[in-house]
Amino acid sequence: MGTKPSITLLLILAIFIPQAELFPQDSSLFPRLEPDPRALEYYELGRRNSGYTWTELAQISIWASGAQDEGASLARIMSAAAGLNSSPSLPASGREKAEYILAYLHRNILKSYSIFQTRVDTVFVNGSFNCVSSAVLFTILCESAGIKTSAVITRDHAFAMVHIDGQDIDVETTNRYGFDPGNRREFHDQFGRLTGFTYVPAQNYRDRQTISNIQLVSLILNNRIAEQERRNNFAASVPLAVDRAALLLGESSTAGIESSSSASIFQDPRRDLVDRLLNFGATLLRANREDDSLHWARIASSKYPHSSRWQEYVTAAVNNRITRFLRERKTDEADVFLENNKALLTDADYAQFDSVIFDAAILNRANQSRTAAEGDAIINDIKNGRDAGRMNERRAIELLTYTIQRTAASLCAAPARDWRLAVNYIQSHLSLLGANRELEQALQTYRNNLAADYHNRFAAEWNRRNYEEAQRILNEGLLEFPDNRQLLSNMEIVNRQRSN
């Protein structure tokens, strides 16, 4: 009887994230999209002064760390700087001074390395640090002592750089002996006698990029974002990304996103922000909150645009909801949903979704067709849909074939088993499709069934010795099916009986 056509559906966009918490349906609980006013103030401060003093870097690092008591945390940094600069053993020369500062930091503040501990306030609480927090504190202390600094990042690491006497010297701040890695240093006792050497090998970084001190501080926010997402708390990462973009780009954080790229090691914070916005949006999709997803796309994309990426996200949200409607056989609801969100879609995406819904609606109706009138209405709609471009010719032929088969099957269903209704229905539409192997096979099956009915009726009357009625039925059958082997065999039986 043919193979049932499958519903053609778009693939659901695969945005890979761990299983996230469900979010309340109240859209007012979306993450904050407005930057912290201090982020804009700090940006303006650096723009106006073409950089930052060490005290300003200290203050910004505390803010970026999310310290609960910013005053106390800032006081600890100020105290550390005062202790360093008042130390009688602080060398006068730049190189020795910078090396001394690294040792001072490890002797008095840095206690244990912890890969994810990026907050400078926490360093003073328990002494734990990572490459970013240690590099930030080293930078602040160096700047407080009059040593100019910048920083270096690789794909997965950050460290400081000091600028002394025309030289740029790397400093691996996670290691007490990380000043100018790759050079051997002598150790002497209090009498000047050589006691040994220390050596920190230089890292073989294939890719490295020099960044400014404020960019280094912004990595605190970047690491906090990563930590929130490791915990599946994608909502909390959004305001951090908003603040980081504002800190580095100010009011221009809403501009230039379209053309930003990820080619640089230090990724454009605007692009990183859109990543965070979409990651949060992905949690809404995973929670089957497509309406909230689309509302999120409207408000977030208007402030932080990136047309191609937001369009992909919107298309995924619409697709996911339509897919669920169609799985539930709710084609009318799918159609209303599509129309309500038409303005968010490209013409091509809208046309494709419309085609999918139309296809599913036709298939649902074909499966429920019971009368010739219902089948004819579906066939007419398929032809109109094909002419309007809602499906291609090949798909139209598939659905026409299936609708005719399903309707024919319903017309001859039990208990009547009137095969002639099915034969007549298929014959009435066969010319519509021209040569059609599936319909021709179905027609032959029904005709064989009809011929078998003649045989069964003949056999019943013959066995009752109603030979005249049996002869009449057989003649009627042979008139319609003159080549049917079973009926011809029956005629041989009749002829033998006559000859006897």
At residue 67, φ and ψ (nearest 5 deg) are -60, 140
pLDDT at 432: 74
Q: Helix 437-463 crosses helix 485-499 at what angle (to 10 degrees)?
A: 20
Q: What's the confidence (pLDDT) of residue 17? A: 33
Closest residue by Cα to residue 211 from 203, 202, 222: 222
Structure tokens at 139: 């930078």
Residue reference for tokens 């490890």 = 106
pLDDT at 416: 77
Please give the average pLDDT of every successive group of 10 residues along the chain, which has 500 residues. 33 33 55 97 96 98 97 98 96 94 97 97 97 98 98 94 96 94 56 44 72 97 97 97 95 65 80 96 96 95 92 96 96 97 95 97 94 96 96 94 94 87 92 85 94 93 93 94 93 86
Query: Which residues does 22 contact at the CB level (< 8 Å), separation at least 6?
Result: 287
Q: How far apart are CA 73 and CA 101, in angstroms?
A: 20
Give the integer Cα–Cα distance in Å for 335 and 455.
Answer: 51
- For residues 277 and 290, is the Cβ–Cβ distance under 8 A? no
Q: Are 433 and 406 in contact (CB under 8 A)?
A: no
What is the three-class DSSP state of 444? helix
CA–CA separation, 200 and 178 (whole Å): 6
- Residue 253: predicted pLDDT: 65
Say how many residues make up the chain: 500
**pLDDT (0 to 100) of residue 16:** 32
Tokens (6 digits) for 473: 């039925």
Phi, psi of 211 (to 5 degrees): -130, 165
Q: Is the peptide bond before 37 cis (omega within 30 degrees of 0)?
A: no
Residue 8 confidence (pLDDT): 29
* CA pair distance 266, 148, nearest whole angstrom: 21
